[in-house]
Chain A
């Protein structure tokens, strides 16, 4: 069967680029390795050409896949799976890296870019460094090959997997149509990813991951050449560059979660988030060990360990997210493509290589002859690197439960209160690290003059004590651990600011570390304040007492708002004002009001949390947040009825005498009198009929009176019949059903419509105080890090 309308050429082009990129990475790796081994310039030249050819091929791959998504060639499985015609063009980037293949492609692309910059700057280290980079690229490209070797499929290739050849769709009658490309549409992008943060966050984190390759390549090169010290100088600025990029990338993930996910926070300790945080922690440790080594030439072994661990943790992060091992424990892992074994082999290769080279050279590492003083800067920097490594290990251990379960057949699961669990564990580490960050720069290398140290630190210490006391008093933070953390983080902020202002005299030159550390202090302070002080205000005016269920069930966090009802919530009065549909979004308007001095309600602001409807991938609730300088008010829809449900009217029988009152849900009506000669508008009466009317006066909620007159009719004086009267604006209908002559009472039936129950929302609202300290801290930290990188590059 021949198909018209398929664009097979572009796929072949992409596939050619893939094969070339793969082959040239291998060639480049081998040639560069031989060049270093044999000190032969011939090999070096081959290596260079191979690496350039490899780079061009990778860039070609990226460009081809973009072109395929941009032109919506749905005959390709990847394009079909991640995009569709309805999707706004601005999300084309998100489509690109939604799948494993695209995300690997971007990653290799960043490696190529870094490699091309290194190419120019590595000089004498070129051969071994580029050989390591090519080796990493070689492993990554196997993930994109999509070839079968003895029944085992290596990688997944987006250029050759056609929709009609995909195992899920074989033999589909649709493909009997030679023009099928004319009619198909893509499956579309996951609604969670249709968000501006998702356009920039993944490539940023992947860029951060990619930067780990540079110190790793230098470290391996140093081990291969037996030069254990010299590699640190060129690798150092790269490491801090990586710290800046990955740090911002990780927090961008937090910002995405905070702005558009509805779990209510910026950090959920999700395995994928953890996997990106952990390499950052060890990268920071590695960077600081490099500083020690540059100054004192010590901690060779620890540095090699920390650098290789960082790289392996990055690979491990990729393994966790891409292998499918996390399964149901994470919201944002990829779907399993059956590459688990391949990913594991690649990870084990780099772990094995690192261990082998470190063990082989261990005896040759320069040993430290002199004991460092416990007041020296290098000692405490070493301790902070260890603390970072420990916290990385603790996070990794619990995150790895799914992996441990797979290997050992255990049933471990992280505790239900995952966020509390990690927060509890890491608070002590945060305290230690922030104290060290505070004192670090005031300590001198080799030995510190302690009286001078205390004198210099005293102002910051005083200020932070004052801040701690005021804040803990005004925000009622009395938990001793939190008070200590308040002190340590504010000290970290003040001490570094003070160091910059008084000791560096406010100059930009050399201020990088102080600024970065100041930002780090603010960041931790922001985390502490916003996390410990965040309050779910939607629980306060609940309609139902959940505590009867027992102390365990205190998660009474949602409020039900009927349309236009006003309820008290925290410091506000809130009302749900209605919804508005727009494309596949439903926006709900929630008004936040406060009472002014005159007792009149005033609108403070309106929030529009929304639901994104996606029939194929599930509906997604996205929050809406009111930002103030000192706090945020975050609101999201927990539940809303999407379909109109018909509420059944109630029907009740009443036996009453004249003068009685019937109460209904919205009104009451008085049975005034009987009328043997009713003047009803009912036309179906004839002369033979006997009709009796009942006069009712109905008072509605505004005590407005209405008149109702239902009739009881004996048709031809034989058959009883009832002619009800109704009041449509209240949805009330009353029927005269019978007369009991013995008891002298009358039977009426009142039917009343129930209000439509679909117009309500169940909503959750959280106040996050001080969250802007966190974001500000992050920005300042990134800025400071880049300052120091520039400084280092200049100095080199």
Chain B
């Protein structure tokens, strides 16, 4: 057996190991009910900001805590504690992805991804001078 064959076998073994570990290490997309049924696990939860509920950001007492309410895709609403500063332009987000885990009745997120209307609103065209449209 050639050395290059041995090297290849080692490579394949490492790659299979890497794939298995990568899958085990990965988190998964879920809704609130799944995340709350497994409070130890880390989940990515997709949902929308509930604009009718209060958002609490009091940087004086803690700049790294922001509380709001999010409704997931199954319309379940939960209180969310984000352990980061309030993201810029948070109110404008169309969709949010929380990364974190459930704790009691709250979802504690360590990170957040937001989808802002990077696209234009449909049918909206701006004029050079607003009075002309």
Interface of A with B (CB < 8 Å)? Answer: 80-81, 84-85, 163, 168-169, 172, 174, 182-185, 187, 190, 299, 328-329, 335, 368, 371-372, 374, 379, 382-383, 386, 389-390, 393-394, 397-398, 401, 405, 410-416, 421, 425, 542-544, 546, 549, 552-553, 555-560, 611, 616-621, 638-639, 757, 760, 762, 764
Contacts and interface: CB of A to CB of B under 8 A. Distances in A.
Nearest to B81: A549
B60 A187 contact: no
A403 B46 CA distance: 18
Contact of A416 (B23, B27, B119): B27
Nearest to A556: B64
Given A328-B113, A415-B27, A421-B25, A553 B108 contact: yes
B128 interface: yes
Contact of B83 (A546, A559, A611, A762): A546
A549 B83 contact: yes
28 contacts: A168-B122, A169-B125, A183-B132, A184-B125, A185-B126, A185-B127, A328-B97, A328-B115, A335-B118, A335-B119, A372-B3, A383-B7, A386-B7, A389-B11, A394-B18, A405-B29, A410-B28, A412-B29, A413-B28, A415-B25, A543-B60, A546-B62, A553-B83, A555-B84, A559-B63, A619-B88, A639-B87, A762-B59
Nearest to A642: B88
State the 4 A-B residue pairs at the shortest beta-carbon distance, nearest first. Answer: A638-B85, A416-B99, A544-B62, A558-B63
A415 B26 CA distance: 5
B125 A638 contact: no
Given A328-B97, A543-B60, A185 B128 contact: yes
B55 interface: no
B61 to A, nearest CB: 6
Contacts of B87: 639
B18 A425 contact: yes
A203 B110 CA distance: 35
B111 interface: yes
Nearest to B26: A412
A553 B110 contact: yes
Q: Report, as a range, how many residues of chain B touch the other chain.
A: 35 or more
Given A383-B7, A386-B7, A546-B83, A393 B15 contact: yes
A618 B59 contact: no
Nearest to B115: A328
A183 B26 CA distance: 51
A617 B42 CA distance: 31
Contacts of A764: 85
A757 B59 CA distance: 10
A398 B127 contact: no
B96 to A, nearest CB: 9
Contacts of B110: 416, 552-553, 555
A617 B92 CA distance: 9
Given A386-B8, A558-B63, 8 more contacts: A169-B125, A182-B132, A328-B97, A386-B7, A390-B18, A393-B18, A415-B25, A639-B57
A552 B62 contact: no
B11 A555 contact: no
B83 to A, nearest CB: 5
Nearest to B98: A416
Contacts of B119: 335
B29 A555 contact: no
B121 to A, nearest CB: 9
B99 to A, nearest CB: 4
A186 B62 CA distance: 41
Nearest to A327: B115
Contact of A558 (B27, B64, B108): B64
Interface in B99-115: 99-100, 108, 110-111, 113, 115
Query: Which of B18, B89, B119: most chain A Cβ within 10 A?
Result: B89
Contacts of B129: 183
B18 A397 contact: yes
Contacts of A618: 88-89, 92, 116-118
A762 B85 contact: yes
Nearest to B57: A639
Nearest to A621: B88
B118 A190 contact: yes
B79 interface: no
Nearest to A555: B83
Query: Which of B3, B100, B122: most chain A Cβ within 10 A?
Result: B3
Query: Which of A84, A556, A620: most chain B Cβ within 10 A?
Result: A556
B14 interface: yes
A59 B119 CA distance: 29
B50 interface: no
A411 B29 contact: yes
A544 to B, nearest CB: 4
Query: Which of B26, B87, B95: most chain A Cβ within 10 A?
Result: B26
Nearest to A374: B3
A85 B128 contact: yes
Contacts of B108: 549, 552-553
Interface string B64-81: 110000000000000000
B48 interface: no
A411 B88 contact: no
Given A398-B22, A416-B27, A168 B123 contact: yes
Nearest to A299: B4
B19 to A, nearest CB: 6
Given A544-B62, A555-B84, A619-B88, A394 B115 contact: no
A375 to B, nearest CB: 11
Contacts of B89: 618-619
B53 interface: no
A493 B99 CA distance: 39
Contacts of A81: 120
A185 B44 CA distance: 39
A411 B28 contact: yes
A397 B123 contact: no
Contacts of A549: 83, 108
A563 B114 CA distance: 29
Interface string B4-38: 10011001001100110011011111100000000
A546 B111 CA distance: 16
Contacts of A552: 108, 110
Contact of A394 (B2, B22, B95): B22
Query: Which of A84, A172, A617: most chain B Cβ within 10 A?
Result: A617
A386 B11 contact: yes
Contacts of A412: 23, 26, 28-29
A386 B60 CA distance: 53
B26 A398 contact: yes
A207 to B, nearest CB: 26
B26 to A, nearest CB: 5
B26 A413 contact: yes
A210 B8 CA distance: 30
A425 B126 CA distance: 48
A197 to B, nearest CB: 19
Contacts of A182: 132
B63 A560 contact: yes
A552 B89 CA distance: 26
A159 B113 CA distance: 34
A44 B30 CA distance: 58
B85 A558 contact: yes
Contacts of B65: 546
Nearest to B126: A185
A174 to B, nearest CB: 6
A108 to B, nearest CB: 26
Contact of B14 (A390, A398, A405, A410): A390
Nearest to B25: A415
Nearest to B89: A618
A617 B133 CA distance: 21
B95 A328 contact: yes
